[in-house]
Each structure stands twice: as C-alpha cells, then as structure tokens.
C-alpha cells in the first residue's frame, strides 16, 4: 500500500495547476443556456489548444496519453481551480470510450479530434417518452435503405441534455423490430442538422433550457455512422452506460472541491457571527458531507488501483453511481440548511450567497439519482449482480 | 499510488480466515455465551503460533514487527467470525504502546509474553468506563489523568458487567498506584494515549467491517433460500433494496478503514482525522447493516435460536466502543472547522 503519487505524477499536477490557476474562467454563466453554452465552448477550445481537454486520450487525437492516475490528478486540479462542469462531457467521457472500443479507424479519425477540439458537440439519445428506466423498450426505428446505403430513422428521443445546443446525437435505434427486446438495436451517430431532425428545448427544474426533445422524421444516416455492429447496439450502449455510472463521468475531484467549499462556507458563516445557533448545529452535517466526498475519493483510489491491474469494476459501478449521486445531493442540501433563509436566493438575485451556486448545485444534484439509470435500477443491479439475488 | 494489499498480506489474511472458519464456527460463539469464562486458551495459543498475537510486537521481543496495514485485514476476519477474544486490546493497542512508550524494563517484562501468547493484555483509557476481558488478562494498561500505568492483573479488583453481547466480558476495575508501574507521564503519556485510542478505534472499525460483511452474507443466503408467495423473497425489490443499501454502506466504509490503517502505519499528519472517519463510517455501516439484516430475516432473526443475533449484538457493542459514530464525527468536525 502506497498512497503517494510519483514525482512524475506530482510534476504533472504542478503543470496542470499552474495552467488552470492562470486560465480557469471566473463567473461563467450556466452552460445549459444558449449564451452560456457558447462561452463554455470557448473555454473548452482554450483547454484543447493547451492540450488539457482530453488528457487521457492518445496524443494523435489531441490528448496527452495521461495515465488513469494522471487523469484523476487533472480532475482534482480542474475542480480545485474552480473549473466549470464540462459541456463536452457526454462526448469526451461517454461516447469517446465507446468509439475507442468499437469504432473503425475512419470513425476514430473523423470524430475524436473534432470532439476533443469542441468542434463537434455531442448529446446522448437514450430515453424516449415510453422508455426510461426500461431502456430496452425503445421504439425509435431505423429502417434499412439499401439503395442509399444507410438507415432511415423515425421516432423521438427525450431528456437529451444540451440537445438544443449540440450538433450531434448518439443513441440506440431499433433496426430489427422482430428481434427479442435486447437484440435488434443499433448504435447510431446522427448529425442534428440532418434533414428531418427537429429539436425542441425543454426547460429543466433549474429554469435552464438544458433538456431537449429530438424528433426524427425520415432522417437518413449512412452506414459509416453505425458504431459497432448492426443489431449489436445494446452491448455497445452498455459499455457507454457503465462509463456513465462509474468512474469516467464523475471523478472525485468535483465532489472533494465542493466539500472543501462547504467547509469554507461554514467558516465564513461562523466568522460572520450571525445565525450562531444554526451554524453550531450544522457542524456534524458539514463533517459528514466532507467525509462522504473523501470516502468517494478513497474508494476511487482503490478502484483505479484495480483498473490499472486490469480488474474491472463490473456491476460494482452501480454502487459508485448511487454513492456519488446521493453524496452530491446531501452536500448541497447541507449547504442550503447552513444558509437557512438565504438559501432560496438564486443566481439572478443581488444578495445571493456565492452567486446562488448552492441552490443551483442542489437542483443539478437532484438529477443525479435519476439520470444514467435511476438509483432504484442501480440498487436492483447491485442486489442481482453484485450480491447474486434472483431476478425473479 | 497503490491502494491495495500485497499478495503476502492477502495470503496471511486468508490463512487466518481459514483458521477462524475451522476453529471459530458459530457453535464456538454460542459456547462463549454459555460458558462462564467463555475464552478458549488453545485458539489464542494457536493464533500466537501463527504469529497473529505477536504481529505488532517488535522482532527484538519475539514478535513479527508488522504494522496496522498487516493487522487490520486480519481483524476484519476476526470480526467476520465474531471471534470472542481481546485481539484489539492486546495486539492492536497494548503491544505497540509498550513498544513505543514504555521504559525498557516494562517492555522487556511483558512484550515477549504477548508475542508467545502467554500474556493477555487489556486496556482502559479515559472515557472508557469498562475493561474488556479482565478475567483472563495478565496485564492492564490504564490511564490515570496524564499518566499511563502497567498494572499486573492480580492487583486489579474487578466487578463484572453484563453486555447485550453475551460473548463479551466487561468489567469495572479499581487498582492502586502502589501496585502499578509507570509507563509514561505528562505530554508523553497523553501522546501515547492518543495513539492508543486511534489504534483501538481503527482496529474496532476493521472488526465492524468483517461483522457487516458476514451479516450481509448470511442475509443473502437466507433471502435466496426463503420462499414466500412461491418465490424466493430475494426476488422482491423491497428486499433487494435493503441489501443494496447495506452493501453500499460497507463498500464506502471499507476504503476509509484501509486509509486509517495506512495513516497509522506511516505516521500520517492527518491520522486522527483518518481514524475518526474510519470508525464513524464503520460504526454507521454496521448499524445500518444490522437493521437491514434483521428486517430481512424477519421473525427468525428475532430469535436467539438463529445465529444472526451474535453478529447483531457484537455490532451494537463495537459500534459504540472506542468512540461511537457521533463522537468521531465531532472529532472530524473539530479538525476540519476549528482552525
């Protein structure tokens, strides 16, 4: 057991820290509005120009060939410096691992560099109006068009995060309607400017137009936009889903940085000397939230130690997803209780504490137990595939 | 970065686990409830032979000279089998305390006996009202204000208490300074007490991880086997979610306990915080797991005919020993907030 990073890893940390401290933008608006999104894309391009946008990717695609440990370090430094959540995350963290695993050389060449550079902006198309937790119940159809050499899509996707601002969507479509539920689906990459695509923004709980519905009306996609095999989309999608549940989307850095900010908020409230009883009563909860973030960091260090040796997380990634999503809610909720009557002020309110970031963070955190497979589904996965309870 | 045990550490752990599987089955735990002494000297001697009892005793005194990273996985196995004996007191706390803080004469007098299994040691620090296993101990290490003493067991007057865990043996003790030898005083004693307390808390956290894992294993076996409405009750979502919650708690307490072991072994600057987080999470996890295990077993778990209650009651007792979750959470709060 050795919980130290190597000198080379610490040098990587120092380089990342220095660049991030000099360059992380201050006070960016939410990336889930049209104008905010544009500013975030600018920031993503700046990251790319300095080769910090996809550190763990090979150099030929715009990365630094960083190890998993260096990626963990980068994420710690990114959030420590106050970096905003990545509006490119669905592409770089969810689609990219799938392209690395299933993509043809041409697909890698075509999509990865443009994704790293934030030229192509990707959203995901899983859920449909009648298929949420029961993802295998999707109905959107892609029919074979031999003449044109491709597929014709009809149907609807929904809850597509940042769908109104992106230019590509990846997702599952039913290509063999007669096949069994989990067969007959294909993973397709679809340009949102293709004829027949309609995107309608949907206002989220936090008031941002962060969601979208995407309608497909005879949308043609050519064969080179099939990722993995035809009718093999379920297996391809599950590879992406486990990235989303597990490590890649939620490195510990974001939660540890938030926990440190919570400690700082408590100290500021304490120093202000107002609401002394409330501040005193919240000590244990602040400590608990900080420890939950720390526990997530430690569990990640153990998981990454295993991953480096080739031991995959498997179904345990569902435990990870439950834990980070619930700790995120607890942490923001703790901050709101600490703020008391000031908690309700949002970012446009002149007297909002920390620019209303805690209510914003709380509302965002509330989506965590719902997206990427609800925590109810994750608990089923834990019971059945980690503990071995019977499905029926 | 390598947050995992070595092959050698895991092999040692597995050897001890196999020993407990053979020598400490549930019938042995039941015996320790019923028997007046409730402690099996031959098991202790065999563990000494294997090097477990002398694990933390320096090699110069006949021990293995190992540290908490080696010890805590073994204590997890002791917890898994609900082994009733003062491993925390003798191996995790007193042996390293004497090795680090006692004058040579006291160390020489007791440490070789701990290593060879002939000396059982127990401990009482300020804030701990009762002493474990005074009835079989040869040595009591006890704090009195800012002084630490070694008290031979035959000079200790004890009154037995009765724990909810019938395998525990708890005593209120009295002793006279005239009969005791001074280990340390002043700041040196208080530092030794703080380290001893951290070691006891982390070691108890390791026991709680093993107890929790075993309660989950027993419950999984039960809900797969038990049928109602014509199907295993483990197929019901409500039952699945109880068990998933239990697994979640243990899964995120376990790394905290290993981090505490590492902090103790390497002398981390943040060791107090690391240990308190470990004990806080392990205590909370064991309490949740115990509740879920009982609820999921239903009425059979509510009897003393079923073995589950041995694990439930050990969990309750240890969750509040060496500082309960509340105490440790407040210590973390103090370390994070008051500077």
**What pLDDT was estimated at residue A240?**
67
Half-sphere exposure of B207 (CA within 13 A, CB side): 28
Mean pLDDT of B109-131: 98
The Cα of B74 is separated from the nearest Cα of chain A by a number of Å equal to: 16
Catalytic residue among A209, A244, A292, A333: A244
Q: Give the least confident one: A248-257, B115-124, B295-304.
A: A248-257
Mean pLDDT of B287-300: 98
Please tell me the distance from the alpha carbon of residue A98 to that of residue A145, in angstroms, as a whole number: 25
3-class SS at A153?
Answer: strand
Cβ burial of B100 (10 Å; 0-12, 13-18, 19+) is: middle
**What pLDDT was estimated at residue A310?**
87
Instruction: For residue range A120-132, list pLDDT tens digits in order.
Output: 999 999 999 999 9
State whether residue A377 sits within 8 Å of chain B by CB. Answer: no
Checking if the pLDDT of A157 tops 90, the result is yes
**What pLDDT was estimated at residue A250?**
79
pTM for this entry: 0.97
| A370 Cβ contact partners less than 8 Å away, ≥ 6 residues apart | none
Enter the tokens of residue B119: 């000396």
State whether residue B277 sits within 8 Å of chain A by CB. Answer: yes
Contact B284, B323 (CB under 8 A): no
Q: Which residues of chain B does A322 touch, with a Cβ-Cβ cutoff of 8 Å?
A: 244, 248
Mean pLDDT of B149-161: 98
Enter the tokens of residue B73: 């996985």
Mean pLDDT of B286-306: 98
Checking if the pLDDT of A243 tops 70, the result is no
State whether residue A107 sits within 8 Å of chain B by CB. Answer: no
Instruction: For residue range B45-91, list pLDDT tens digits in order.
Output: 999 999 999 999 999 999 999 999 999 999 999 999 999 999 999 99
Residue-averaged pLDDT of chain A: 95
Instruction: For residue range A69-104, list pLDDT tens digits in order.
Output: 999 999 999 999 999 999 999 999 989 999 999 999
Concatenating the DSSP letter of every residue in B254-315 gives: HHHHHHHHHHHHHT-TTHHHHHHHHHHHHHHHHHHHHHHHHHHHGGGGGSSSSTHHHHHHHH
User: Looking at the partner chain, which of A270, A296, A298 has a beta carbon nearest the beta carbon of B259?
Assistant: A298
Q: Which residues of chain A does B333 touch, with a Cβ-Cβ cutoff of 8 Å?
A: 283-284, 286-287
Instruction: For residue range A301-352, list pLDDT tens digits in order.
Output: 999 999 889 888 889 999 999 999 999 999 999 999 999 999 999 999 999 9
Instruction: For residue range A170-181, list pLDDT tens digits in order.
Output: 999 999 999 998
pLDDT bin (cut points 50, 70, 90) of residue A274 is confident
Residues pairing with A143 in the sheet: A152
Q: Which residues of chain B does A388 touch, with a Cβ-Cβ cutoff of 8 Å?
A: 220, 224
Phi, psi of B185 (to 5 degrees): -145, 165
Please tell me the distance from the alpha carbon of residue B19 to that of residue B44, in angstroms, as a whole number: 11
Checking if the pLDDT of A247 tops 80, the result is no
> What are the E-state strand segments in chain A?
122-125, 141-145, 150-157, 168-174, 185-191, 197-202, 211-222, 226-227
pLDDT bin (cut points 50, 70, 90) of residue A244 is low
- To test the contact with chain B by mutation, choose from A382, A386, A388, A391 the residue with the greatest count of B C-beta atoms within 10 A, namely A382
**What pLDDT was estimated at residue A249?**
56
The Cα of A180 is separated from the nearest Cα of chain B by a number of Å equal to: 23
**What pLDDT was estimated at residue A246?**
58
> CA of A146: how far to CAs of A35, A172, A214, in Å?
41, 20, 25
Concatenating the DSSP letter of every residue in A41-89 gives: HHHHHHHHHTT-SSTTS-GGGTS----HHHHHHHHHHHHHTTPPPPTTH
Contact B301, B333 (CB under 8 A): no
Phi, psi of A53 (to 5 degrees): -80, -35
User: Looking at the partner chain, which of B223, B224, B329 has a beta carbon nearest the beta carbon of A288?
Assistant: B329
Please tell me the distance from the alpha carbon of residue A338 to that of residue B322, in angstroms, as a whole number: 30
Residue-averaged pLDDT of chain B: 98
Percentage of chain B beyond pLDDT 70 is 100
pLDDT bin (cut points 50, 70, 90) of residue A372 is confident
State whether residue A348 sits within 8 Å of chain B by CB. Answer: no
A/B interface, count of CB pairs below 8 Å: 141
**What pLDDT was estimated at residue B236?**
98
| Helix axis angle, B237-266 to B186-225, nearest 10° | 150
Contact A168, A241 (CB under 8 A): no
Q: Is the complex ipTM more than 0.90?
A: yes
Please tell me the distance from the alpha carbon of residue B102 to that of residue B192, in angstroms, as a whole number: 10
3-class SS at B142?
Answer: strand
Enter the tokens of residue A98: 């799938």
Phi, psi of A306 (to 5 degrees): -70, -45
State whether residue A299 sits within 8 Å of chain B by CB. Answer: yes
3-class SS at A352?
Answer: coil
Please tell me the distance from the alpha carbon of residue B331 to that of residue A7, in angstroms, as a whole number: 33
Percentage of chain B beyond pLDDT 90 is 100
| A364 Cβ contact partners less than 8 Å away, ≥ 6 residues apart | A206
Mean pLDDT of A179-188: 94
Instruction: For residue range B182-236, list pLDDT tens digits in order.
Output: 999 999 999 999 999 999 999 999 999 999 999 999 999 999 999 999 999 999 9
pLDDT bin (cut points 50, 70, 90) of residue A239 is confident
The 8-class DSSP code of residue A95 comes to I
Q: Give the least confident one: A96-100, A106-110, B153-157, B187-191.
A: A96-100
**What pLDDT was estimated at residue A337?**
97
Please tell me the distance from the alpha carbon of residue B127 to that of residue B264, in angstroms, as a whole number: 21
Please tell me the distance from the alpha carbon of residue B66 to that of residue B6, in angstroms, as a whole number: 13
Checking if the pLDDT of B120 tops 80, the result is yes
CB contact under 8 A, A287 and B336: yes
State whether residue B238 sits within 8 Å of chain A by CB. Answer: no
Tokens 């079989």 belong to residue: B136
Instruction: For residue range A53-63, list pLDDT tens digits in order.
Output: 999 999 999 99
Please tell me the distance from the alpha carbon of residue A211 to that of residue A204, in angstroms, as a whole number: 6
CB contact under 8 A, B332 and A376: no
Please tell me the distance from the alpha carbon of residue B162 to that of residue B165, in angstroms, as a whole number: 8
B266: nearest CA partner in chain A: A2
User: Looking at the partner chain, which of A9, A266, A389 has a beta carbon nearest the beta carbon of B235?
Assistant: A389
Active site residue A384: no
- Residue A227: CB atoms within 10 Å: 24
- Surface of B (83-112) touching A: CB under 8 A: none
Q: Which residue has the higher pLDDT, A251 or B151?
A: B151
Residues pairing with A200 in the sheet: A213
3-state secondary structure A276-295: HHHHHHCHHHHHHHHHHHHH
Contact B282, B274 (CB under 8 A): no
The Cα of B246 is separated from the nearest Cα of chain A by a number of Å equal to: 10
Checking if the pLDDT of A245 tops 70, the result is no
**What pLDDT was estimated at residue B123?**
98
């Amino acid at each position: 057991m050795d919980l130290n990073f190597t000198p080379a890893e610490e040098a990587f940390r120092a380089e990342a820290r220095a660049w991030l401290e000099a360059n992380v933008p201050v006070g960016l608006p939410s990336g889930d509005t049209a104008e905010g999104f544009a500013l975030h894309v600018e920031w993503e391009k700046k990251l790319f120009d300095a080769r910090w946008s996809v550190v763990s990717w090979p150099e030929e695609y715009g990365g630094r060939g960083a190890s998993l440990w260096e990626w963990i370090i980068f994420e710690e430094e990114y959030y420590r410096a106050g970096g905003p959540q990545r509006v490119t995350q669905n592409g770089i963290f969810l689609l990219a691992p799938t392209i690395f695993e299933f993509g043809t050389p041409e697909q890698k060449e075509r999509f990865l560099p443009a994704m790293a550079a934030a030229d192509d902006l990707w959203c995901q198309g899983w859920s449909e109006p009648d298929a949420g937790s029961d993802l295998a119940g999707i109905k959107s159809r892609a029919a074979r068009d031999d003449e044109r050499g491709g597929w014709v899509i009809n149907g609807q996707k929904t809850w597509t995060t940042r769908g109104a601002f992106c230019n590509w969507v990846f997702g599952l479509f039913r290509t063999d309607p007669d096949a069994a539920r989990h067969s007959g689906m294909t993973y397709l990459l679809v340009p949102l400017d293709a004829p027949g695509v309609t995107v309608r923004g949907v206002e989220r709980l936090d008031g941002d137009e962060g969601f979208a519905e995407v309608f497909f009306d005879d949308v043609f996609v050519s064969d080179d936009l099939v990722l993995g095999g035809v009718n093999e989309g379920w297996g391809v999608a599950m590879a992406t889903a486990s990235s989303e549940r597990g490590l890649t989307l939620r490195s510990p850095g974001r939660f540890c940085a938030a926990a440190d900010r919570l400690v700082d908020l408590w100290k500021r409230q304490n120093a202000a000397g107002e609401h002394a009883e409330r501040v005193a009563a919240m000590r244990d909860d602040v400590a608990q939230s900080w420890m939950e973030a720390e526990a997530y960091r430690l569990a990640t260090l153990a998981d990454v130690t295993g991953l480096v040796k080739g031991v995959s997380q498997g179904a345990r990634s569902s435990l990870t997803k439950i834990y980070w999503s619930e700790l995120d809610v607890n942490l923001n909720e703790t901050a709101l209780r600490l703020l008391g009557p000031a908690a309700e002020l949002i970012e446009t309110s002149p007297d909002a504490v920390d620019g209303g970031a805690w209510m914003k963070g709380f509302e965002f955190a509330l989506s965590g137990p719902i997206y990427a497979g609800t925590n109810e589904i994750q608990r089923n996965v834990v019971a059945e595939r980690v503990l071995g309870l019977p499905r029926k | 970065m390598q947050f995992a045990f070595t092959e050698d550490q895991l092999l040692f752990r597995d050897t001890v686990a196999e020993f407990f599987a053979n020598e400490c089955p549930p019938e042995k735990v039941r015996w320790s409830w019923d028997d007046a002494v409730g402690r099996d000297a031959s098991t202790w001697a065999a563990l000494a032979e294997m090097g477990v009892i002398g694990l933390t005793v320096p090699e110069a005194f006949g021990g293995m000279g190992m540290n908490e990273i080696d010890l805590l996985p073994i204590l997890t196995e002791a917890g898994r089998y609900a082994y009733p004996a003062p491993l925390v007191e003798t191996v995790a706390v007193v042996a390293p305390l004497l090795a680090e803080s006692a004058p040579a004469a006291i160390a020489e007098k007791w440490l070789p006996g701990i290593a060879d299994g002939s000396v059982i040691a127990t401990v009482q620090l300020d804030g701990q009202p009762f002493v474990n296993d005074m009835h079989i101990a040869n040595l009591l290490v006890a704090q009195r204000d800012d002084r630490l003493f070694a008290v031979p067991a035959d000079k200790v007057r004890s009154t037995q208490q009765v724990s909810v865990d019938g395998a525990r043996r708890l005593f209120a003790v009295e002793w006279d300074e005239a009969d005791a030898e001074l280990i340390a005083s002043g700041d040196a004693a208080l530092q030794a007490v703080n380290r001893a307390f951290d070691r006891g808390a982390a070691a108890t956290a390791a026991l709680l991880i093993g107890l929790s894992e075993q309660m989950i294993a027993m419950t999984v076996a039960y809900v797969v086997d038990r049928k109602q409405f014509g199907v295993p009750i483990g197929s019901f979502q409500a039952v699945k979610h109880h068990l998933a919650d239990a697994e979640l708690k243990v899964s995120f307490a376990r790394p905290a306990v290993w981090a505490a072991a590492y902090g103790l072994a390497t002398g981390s600057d943040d060791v107090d915080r690391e240990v308190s987080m470990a004990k806080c999470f392990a205590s909370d996890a064991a309490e949740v797991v115990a509740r879920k295990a009982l609820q999921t077993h239903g009425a059979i778990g509510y009897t003393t005919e079923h073995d589950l209650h041995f694990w439930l009651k050990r969990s309750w007792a240890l969750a509040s020993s060496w500082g309960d979750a509340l105490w440790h959470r407040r210590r973390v709060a103090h370390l994070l907030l008051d500077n």
